Every structure is written in structure tokens, then in C-alpha cells.
């Protein structure tokens, strides 16, 4: 199971593009409403989450995804359920995707030390100890980070590549008519 966390103020494109593309690859994805079942995005789009945090089954997790947006990122960081799931994944070396401001959560936890990472402009200093590249997407160890909404598709493809294969990501790129 891939859990995509949604908290009030999340960036809609950064959350829903990965959900869509992962599901197109027939992967099991559930959105987790950290601030309730109905979650309002940073641009006023309300999404109904699949489940609430207490319904997660840690034993089935394959990956977690942290969308950015403000104050969504801060709301994620204030959630014990999110922080506990990050720790769970780190302990088991399960992949964690974070985009836009959300890599700052990992940075402030000290998880990105000596890892290549990227984030939204202005959050670089919060990636404590990371090798901040400014690239659209970075994958280093279990962490996949991305800059923002404009690269949400590339972020989703990197998640698919990590879980399935580069070939499967390329097939999806062709299917959605992605400009290469």
C-alpha cells in the first residue's frame, strides 16, 4: 500500500498527480486525511480522503508520499501519525517521496544528511545536512524529493520507477503523452 498524506493546505497537483499515475500502474494507493476525511487544498479544492490515519495498516506500507503546499506541509509535520509513519519507513528502509516544501519535514528530522535532495525555492536551509542540488527531482537512498507542482509528473514517474521499474515509468509516459 502507498499512503499519500493530505492535510489542509496541501498542494493539489503535488498530491493528485502521484495518486493518479500510481493507480494507472495498478498500484494500491490510499489518500490519508490527516486533518479529517474532507481535506481542503491550498487552492480551495476539497478532496475526500480514502482513510483517516487510524485506519492505516503499517504492515502493508510500501511507500509514503508527502505533498507540499502551505500550510499543508506544516500540518503534516504537526501530525504524530505522519511523523510515526516516516520513522516506520526509515527503520524498514521503505521509500519516502516528498515534494515542494515537504522535504523540509525530512530535513528537520535530520534524515537527509549527506543525501542528494531538492525542494521548493526558499526551503533549502531546512534540508539540514543534505546536498541540495536544485534539480527537478532527486532520488537518493529511500528518499525521492522534488521541487514543486511544475514537476509533479516527473516526481510521480520517479516514484513508479522506484516501486516498479524505469520501463514501467516510460510506458506510462507514453500513455499519458508526456513530452520527453
- State residue 67's pLDDT score: 98
- State residue 178's pLDDT score: 86
How many structural domains does the chain have?
1
Residue 15: CATH number of its domain: 3.40.50.880
Could you list the residue range(s) of the whole structural domain that residue 80 is in? Answer: 2-175
- State residue 26's pLDDT score: 97
- Across the beta sheet with 96-99, the strand order is 29-33, 2-6, 63-66, 96-99, 143-146, 137-140
Of 107, 106, 136, the residue nearest 120 (C-alpha)? 136
Is 156 domain-assigned? Answer: yes
Is 145 domain-assigned? Answer: yes
Dig out the grid coordinates for 159 from the structure: 516514484
Is 180 domain-assigned? Answer: no
For CA atoms 36, 1, 146, 81, the dihedral sign is positive
The pLDDT averaged over each successive group of 10 residues in the chain (180 residues) is: 98 98 98 98 98 97 98 98 98 98 98 98 96 97 98 98 96 89
Q: What are phi and psi of 132, to 5 degrees?
A: -80, 120
Amino acid at each position: 500500500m502507498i499512503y499519500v498524506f493530505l492535510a489542509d493546505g496541501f498542494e493539489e497537483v503535488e498530491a493528485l498527480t502521484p495518486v493518479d499515475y500510481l493507480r494507472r500502474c495498478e498500484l494500491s494507493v490510499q489518500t490519508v486525511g490527516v486533518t479529517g476525511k474532507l481535506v481542503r487544498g491550498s487552492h480551495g479544492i476539497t478532496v475526500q480522503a480514502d482513510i483517516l490515519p487510524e485506519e492505516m495498516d503499517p504492515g502493508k506500507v510500501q511507500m509514503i508520499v508527502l505533498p507540499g503546499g502551505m500550510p499543508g506541509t506544516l500540518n503534516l509535520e504537526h501530525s504524530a501519525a505522519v511523523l510515526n509513519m516516516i520513522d516506520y519507513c526509515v527503520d524498514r528502509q521503505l521509500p519516502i517521496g516528498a515534494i515542494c516544501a515537504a522535504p523540509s519535514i525530512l530535513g528537520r528530522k535530520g534524515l537527509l544528511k549527506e543525501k542528494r535532495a531538492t525542494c521548493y525555492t526558499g526551503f533549502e536551509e531546512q534540508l539540514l545536512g543534505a546536498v541540495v542540488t536544485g534539480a527537478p527531482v532527486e532520488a537518493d537512498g529511500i528518499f525521492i524529493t522534488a521541487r514543486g507542482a511544475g514537476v509533479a509528473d516527473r516526481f510521480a514517474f520517479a516514484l513508479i520507477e522506484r516501486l516498479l521499474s524505469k520501463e514501467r515509468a516510460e510506458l506510462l509516459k507514453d500513455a499519458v503523452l508526456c513530452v520527453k
